[in-house]
């Protein structure tokens, strides 16, 4: 049965939560950047929102009930801005590590443009953990957080310098990658030389199409259509286009399987569209519910 809502075609889908691979935690709403493509206004975070240390501990206890969850990742806002009393982001990452999960976070890199802070931050983690740390730098033309003329990012340079100075066994624990948002605009691509330079130093790059969400809705004319075969609609994304669907769907049973769960405050969600599926401290090992989900395919 097809459903219609506000001019958008909707289909009933089943969403399942069972043995997911990633727990995504929105750590705080605060950010020191004001990017034109920011998604925060479409996410269920109140102004001033910040997760507490206690909430993280409850989440980790819930994660232990989902056997295949191995990675707990922070997003925001800017995670490096989080503090609570004498704790900061490193303390949260270590808490995840001590619970037996691989910690990670996504950052705009601003904290790491100071080399001494970079040393102190990662040094504290590496002194107390032998579990790899995944760090994703959001680095693109929308963030304006790299030198366009030089094709270099000071934050990445500092992390690479630190890794080169560390003993190999510790350096290998820092898993550094870049996530870059791109659009139809060919100028939204990072310089090829820049990508090649950092890839030669072990930095992996992934490219994400600009989605018409949050502030980016005003830039929707720049949004590529990942499902299109028309180069004019794909723009800069054409280089990374894959004809197969980016979603893993069981068409026979009409079930959508997400590869992560999101925690915001006391509630767990599936995103896109947002659906609350459980409460903190009460995560069942399996949830299957039927929702109405919009048909995708264009911006």
| Domains of the chain and CATH, by start | 3-294 (3.20.20)
Per-residue pLDDT, 278: 86
Contact 25, 59 (CB under 8 A): yes
Contact 33, 108 (CB under 8 A): yes
- 93 phi and psi angles, rounded to 5 deg: -65, -40
Joined tokens for residue 145? 């957080």
Question: In sequence order, what are the beta bridge partners of 121?
Answer: none
Residue 57: partners with Cβ closer than 8 Å, 6 or more residues away? 95
CA distance 107 to 90: 13
Contact 156, 203 (CB under 8 A): yes
Contact 73, 93 (CB under 8 A): no
Note the pTM of the prediction, 2 decimals: 0.86
CA distance 101 to 43: 25
CA distance 260 to 248: 13
268: left (phi over 0), alpha (psi -120 to 50) or beta: beta
Question: Cα angle at 143 between 139 and 145, to 5 degrees?
Answer: 65
Distances (CA, A) of 124 to 91, 107, 209, 280: 9, 18, 35, 29
Kindly state the percentage of the chain with pLDDT values over 90: 57
CA distance 158 to 177: 14
Joined tokens for residue 24? 């995504």
Peptide bond between residue 227 and the one before it cis (omega within 30 degrees of 0): no
CA distance 26 to 178: 19
Per-residue pLDDT, 258: 52
Contact 112, 159 (CB under 8 A): yes
Kindly give the confidence (pLDDT) of every residue in the chain, 299 residues in length, as a single tens digit, with 9 standing for 90 and above. Answer: 233 334 445 455 555 666 567 899 999 999 999 998 898 888 899 999 999 999 999 999 999 888 778 899 999 999 999 999 999 999 999 999 999 999 999 999 999 999 999 999 999 999 999 999 999 999 999 999 999 999 999 999 999 999 999 999 999 999 999 999 998 888 899 999 999 999 999 999 999 888 888 888 888 778 777 777 787 778 888 887 764 444 443 433 334 445 788 999 999 988 867 888 889 998 877 766 555 555 544 44
Q: Are strands 133-138 and 255-257 parallel, antiparallel or unpaired?
A: unpaired
Tell which residue, 158, 156, 150, 96, has the closest CA to residue 123: 158
Q: What does 266-277 look like in DSSP terms, one character per residue?
A: TEEEETTTTEEE
Locate the DSSP E strands across 114-266. Answer: 133-138, 174-182, 204-209, 249-250, 255-257, 260-264
* Cα 239 → chain centroid: 22
Joined tokens for residue 67? 């056997």
Taking the chain, what is the end-to-end CA distance rounded to the nearest angstrom? 24
């Amino acid at each position: 049965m097809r459903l219609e809502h506000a001019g958008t075609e909707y289909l009933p889908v089943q969403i399942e939560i069972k043995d997911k691979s990633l727990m995504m935690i929105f750590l705080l709403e605060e950010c020191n950047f004001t990017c034109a493509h920011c998604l925060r206004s479409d996410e269920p975070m109140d102004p001033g929102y910040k997760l507490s240390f206690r909430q993280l501990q409850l989440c980790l206890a819930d994660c232990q009930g989902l056997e295949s969850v191995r990675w707990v990742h922070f997003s925001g806002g800017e995670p490096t801005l989080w503090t609570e009393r004498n704790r900061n982001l490193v303390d949260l990452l270590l808490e995840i590590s001590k619970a037996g999960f691989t910690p990670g976070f996504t950052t705009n890199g601003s904290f790491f443009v100071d080399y001494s802070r970079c040393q102190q931050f990662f040094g504290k983690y590496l002194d107390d953990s032998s579990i790899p740390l995944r760090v994703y730098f959001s680095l693109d033309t929308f963030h304006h957080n790299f030198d366009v003329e030089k094709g270099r990012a000071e934050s990445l340079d500092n992390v690479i310098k630190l890794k080169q100075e560390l003993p190999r066994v510790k350096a290998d624990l820092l898993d550094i990658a870049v996530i870059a948002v791109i659009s139809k605009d060919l100028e939204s691509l990072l310089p090829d030389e820049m990508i090649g330079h950092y890839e030669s130093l072990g930095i992996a790059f992934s490219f994400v199409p600009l989605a018409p969400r949050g502030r980016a809705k005003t830039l929707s004319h720049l949004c590529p259509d990942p499902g299109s075969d028309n180069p004019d609609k794909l723009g800069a994304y054409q280089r990374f286009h894959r004809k197969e669907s980016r979603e893993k769907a069981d068409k026979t049973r009409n079930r959508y399987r997400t590869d992560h769960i999101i925690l915001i405050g006391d509630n767990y969600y599936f995103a896109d569209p947002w659906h609350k599926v459980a409460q903190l401290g009460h995560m069942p090992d399996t949830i299957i519910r039927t929702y109405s989900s919009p048909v995708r395919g264009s911006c």
